[in-house]
Amino acid sequence: MPGDALGQDAAVLRWRIDTTKAHPARVYDVFLGGRDHYPVDRVAAAAALAANPRGYLDVRHNRDFLRRAVTTLAEEGIRQFLDIGTGLPTRDNVHRIAQRIAPDARVVYVDNDPVVMAQACAMLTSGPAGRTDYLVADLRQPARILEQAATTLDFGRPVALVLGAVLHFVEDAEAYPVVRELLDALPSGSRLVLSHLTADINPENIGKVAQTFRERGFTFVLRSKADVESFFTDNGLELDDPGVVLGHRWRPDGDGPGPETADPAYLATLDDIEKIRFRDIDDATDADINFYTATGRKG
């Protein structure tokens, strides 16, 4: 069944787009080699790349972590996913991953950027046995998210709450209570999938990246391993193996998508941003990765 944007009209969503300010989802799209962004987003991405020339590894390894995590949970029997901070559509979004394993899987995508939802309405269509829906809302509106997601998801059955690379845009005073409220609404057997930027490994470079985002009006909170663990332990969740680890260390399987290929002469004509999609990510070391990942289970 195709998604219905929970009542949102794609034309209305596009009308609401602000092209004068960078948005995290669209900056992320730049690093993934997408085309659904604006010059202001590209400028923000270029500044971040200048601050950390191998920063694209965080973005692409984060996508690959989500692939592995959603695959694992679907194989373990999870059939419902609430993905908050969805980001722009890519080759393998949550519903495509889950429905390859379980065609009846249901997914609700949530994002606060109209660009994301306009693209989601057009591109993220479910298989016939499952369902995808979309909600324009901010992570800091948990009650609204839960109320509207309940039209698609059955909160009497386990749900995987997916918070991929979104909580570092929320201050402590809101981040921890929001996660608690969302998890409190989910039944036993539900799961949390989380990835989060940190300054534990490479504080100088990631600190420069954070500054480029803050200069553009973003909240940007880099949390320690203990801080990330607290999203699980403070809410009574049991961490799955291998616990909280760097993104490329969470159950690597070697099945991630490889880079695009191109003639060297053509590559020489591209700027650093354009070259990203042609770069391999398998040479990443711990020193390159600046985000933690984990999944956990609600008892």
Q: What is the 3-state secondary structure (H, E, C) of 191-232?
A: EEEEEEECCCCCHHHHHHHHHHHHCCCCCCCCCCHHHHHHHH
Given a cut of 60, is residue 270 above it in pLDDT? Answer: yes
Identify the pLDDT of residue 17: 62
Distance between CA 294 and CA 146 in Å, rounded?
A: 23
Total residue count of the chain as it appears in this document: 299
Distance between CA 297 and CA 190 in Å, rounded?
A: 6
Q: What is the mean pLDDT of residues 53-82?
A: 93
Identify the pLDDT of residue 123: 59
Strand 106-111 and strand 131-136: the pairing is parallel
How would DSSP label each residue in 95-136? HHHHHHH-TT-EEEEEES-HHHHHHHHHH-PPPTTSEEEEEE
User: For the chain, what is the mean pLDDT?
Assistant: 86
Q: How far is CA 15 from the centre of its chain?
A: 24
Residue-wise pLDDT tens digits, 196-243: 999 999 999 899 888 888 888 888 999 999 999 999 999 999 999 999
- Which amino acid makes up residue 16? R
